[in-house]
Structure 1
């Protein structure tokens, strides 16, 4: 099964940036992740990223380490 992040149209995905610092985001399963601010943006069930700063989820140290390792995240 493909993750919601992987299912985003490549042209759209290339243009998505964090609304807070305008930097690039990492694909993190059903979310897009900003490792600089340690916040994750959910992708809804229709595959639409919710890029609202006030809806971003904070990520703790352990999850940050898991999301930023070079190994692919199991699905």
Structure 2
């Protein structure tokens, strides 16, 4: 999945139905590609190119990790 993928424009968080942000792998905080909801601080994995958007698939991120992810999304 890429930042300009049309699918990214229609995918929504299963909990608040809001926009998700693509997180490319970086080796540390996000070892694999994922989608992130900064409003709820939840990260959803992408497995074999398929977003796992069940509420139970998402994981809560810590405050520190959230701040780092916001910095990555801004750059």
TM-score range, shorter chain: 0.7 to 0.9
TM-score (norm 1): 0.78
Greater RCO (Cα-Cα under 8 Å, separation 6 or more): 1
Q: Where does the alignment leave 5 or more consecutive residues of structure 2 unmatched?
A: 25-32
| TM-score between both structures, scaled by the size of structure 2 | 0.78
Q: Determine which of 30, 44, 51 is the counterpart of 1:41.
A: 44
C-alpha separation in 2, matches of 1:14 and 1:36? 17
Aligned length: 65
Work out the CA distance in 2 between the residues paired with 1:63 and 1:42.
16
- Cα root mean square deviation, aligned: 1.6
Q: Which runs of 4+ in 1 moved over 6 A?
A: none
Structure 1 residue ranges without an equivalent (≥5): none
